[in-house]
Chains A and B, each alone.
Chain A
């Protein structure tokens, strides 16, 4: 499959940010596991792994802006709408269940995990309605 310049830039950014995420997460987990960080430094170390994830959201926004093929852009926007709806629905239901002590607590970053899973779902919807994986 051939990628256009906007898709190549997006892929490069996401791969780089994913590697950065792993590079920041592993030391953070290790440092906290061994109780080696406290105070303001602990805040910095805890926040650092989240930043590449936030940057991936920005990269997706950047790709939507930079994509010159309007049909591909429409497919991507539809994918992100499915992702948002999927994540919000599950988080909302889970939140109520949690409030009524029906289920356990889940960390808030699961919203991002569900959103990325929703992107995959949106891609499948595009495939089955448009015959297009993009």
Chain B
């Protein structure tokens, strides 16, 4: 699965740690999602979408 998390985060000048704090996860989790090593669960994907005020499909897409 691909995602635009890094771009969306950069647009807001947030570090991985900033985003992790807002999502209440570890910085390692944000890094793993951004680099495509880990696909988040549906609840976490919804949380990410809510944080960026975007639909899930605007952030995540199939390979």
A70 to B24 CA separation, bound complex (whole angstroms):
11
Q: How large is the interface on A (under 10, 10 to 19, 20 to 34, 35 or more residues)?
A: 10 to 19
A74 to B33 CA separation, bound complex (whole angstroms):
13
Q: Is the CB of B26 within 8 A of A130?
A: no
Interface size on B, residues (CB 8 A): 12
A38 within 8 A of partner (CB): no
Q: Is the CB of B40 within 8 A of A70?
A: yes
Residues of B within 8 A of A134 (CB): 26, 28
Residues of A within 8 A of B26 (CB): 4, 69, 71-72, 134
Which residues 6-48 of B have a CB within 8 angstroms of A? Answer: 24-26, 28-29, 32-33, 37-38, 40-41, 44
With CB as the reference atom, state the residue of chain B lying closest to A7. B26
Which residues 15-62 of A have a CB within 8 angstroms of B? Answer: none
A83 to B59 CA separation, bound complex (whole angstroms):
36
A72 to B29 CA separation, bound complex (whole angstroms):
7
With CB as the reference atom, state the residue of chain A lying closest to B28. A132
Residues of B within 8 A of A69 (CB): 25-26, 29
With CB as the reference atom, state the residue of chain A lying closest to B20. A69
A43 to B38 CA separation, bound complex (whole angstroms):
48
| Most B Cβ at <10 Å: residue of A4, A71, A132, A134 | A71
A104 to B10 CA separation, bound complex (whole angstroms):
61
A67 to B26 CA separation, bound complex (whole angstroms):
11
A70 to B38 CA separation, bound complex (whole angstroms):
10
Residues of A within 8 A of B32 (CB): 71, 130, 132
A4 to B24 CA separation, bound complex (whole angstroms):
10
